[in-house]
Amino acid sequence: MRKPIIAGNWKMNKTAAEAKELVNELKPLVKDAECDVVVCVPFTDIYAVAEAVKGSNIRLGAQNVHFADHGAFTGEISADMLLEAGVEYVIIGHSERRQYFGETDETVNKRTLTALAKGLKPIVCVGESLEERETGKTEAVLKAQIVNGLKDVEDITKVVVAYEPIWAIGTGKTATAEQANETIAFIRKTIAENFCPKCAEKVRIQYGGSMNAKNAHELMSMPEIDGGLIGGASLKAEDFSIVVKM
Ligand code: PGA
């Protein structure tokens, strides 16, 4: 009943010209996809990709959005800027933003509330570090990220959550399908307890972290996993299209 969503997170890869090439290669490969297909591209690629995806089933996403409408926020991008450029989805609170750019649950929350108010579809990332997993803190960490990061969200069904264990990102180490399923079930339970039980059943929760053409099938066959946020494997049209077709 939840439509799967596969989103590519290109991170800081591809110039506008390269982006256009990749999307043009991708279009025919994913045209019959049964899931929602999204590419979250660097800011400078947005106009080129918006043009390239026209008339296709590929949706356009960005990798961050600021919470203010405009103003003195050097290096940031507003929701209106993204919307005017044709952006529909936006990744918020990726662990790399949290780790390298001081993103906190509080700023994640502000960005998410702004995205929703403006009509962007947020993909909000949560996930524990290896140390947190090994010391039994996974559930407490995820609960805090969900409760604080999504505070005051009125319609939680409009949010896509991406569960990305930090130790699995870009490392080639995936969570086992069972581990991912179990943790995503916990996230859904947390949403049920803190928002509403009925809505929790509708929220799409992706897995992310070294998901690729080889392991996507097993992950996607788990009942709680509603798609993937794909980094490295989204940079090759063939690989990404295999994940999309799982
Ligand atoms: P990865 O990245 O697939 O390269 O591990 C996923 C992500 O960080 O979104």
Annotation says 94 is catalytic = yes
**211: CA distance to ligand 1 center in Å?**
7
210 vs 175: CA distance, rounded Å: 9
- pLDDT for 71: 98
Q: Which of 96, 103, 128, 164 is catalytic?
A: 164
Low-confidence stretches of the chain (pLDDT beneath 50): none
Spell out the alpha helix ranges (H) of 137-236: 138-149, 177-194, 197-202, 216-220
Strands (E), the chain: 5-9, 36-40, 58-62, 89-92, 121-126, 160-163, 204-208, 227-230
- pLDDT for 232: 97
204 vs 133: CA distance, rounded Å: 23
**232: CA distance to ligand 1 center in Å?**
6
Ordered structural domains, the chain, with CATH = 5-244 (3.20.20.70)
Q: Report which ligand 1 atom has the smallest distance to the Cα of 168.
A: 5
Annotation says 164 is catalytic = yes
Q: Which of 94, 96, 103, 132 is catalytic?
A: 94
Q: Report which ligand 1 atom has the smallest distance to the Cα of 210.
A: 5
pTM above 0.85, yes or no: yes
121 close to 158: Cβ distance less than 8 angstroms = yes
Residue nearest to atom 7 of ligand 1 (CA): 231
Residue-wise pLDDT for 172-229, tens only, equals: 888 899 999 999 999 999 999 999 999 999 999 999 999 999 999 999 999 999 999 9
| 235: helix, strand or coil | helix
164 vs 229: CA distance, rounded Å: 8
- pLDDT for 208: 97
**236: CA distance to ligand 1 center in Å?**
13
**32: CA distance to ligand 1 center in Å?**
24
In 3D space, the residue among 5, 76, 74, 1 whose CA is nearest the CA of residue 40 turns out to be 5
In 3D space, the residue among 118, 194, 126, 211 whose CA is nearest the CA of residue 160 turns out to be 126
| 228 in contact with ligand 1, CB cutoff 6 A | no
For the chain, first and last CA: distance in Å?
16
6 close to 230: Cβ distance less than 8 angstroms = yes
- pLDDT for 174: 83
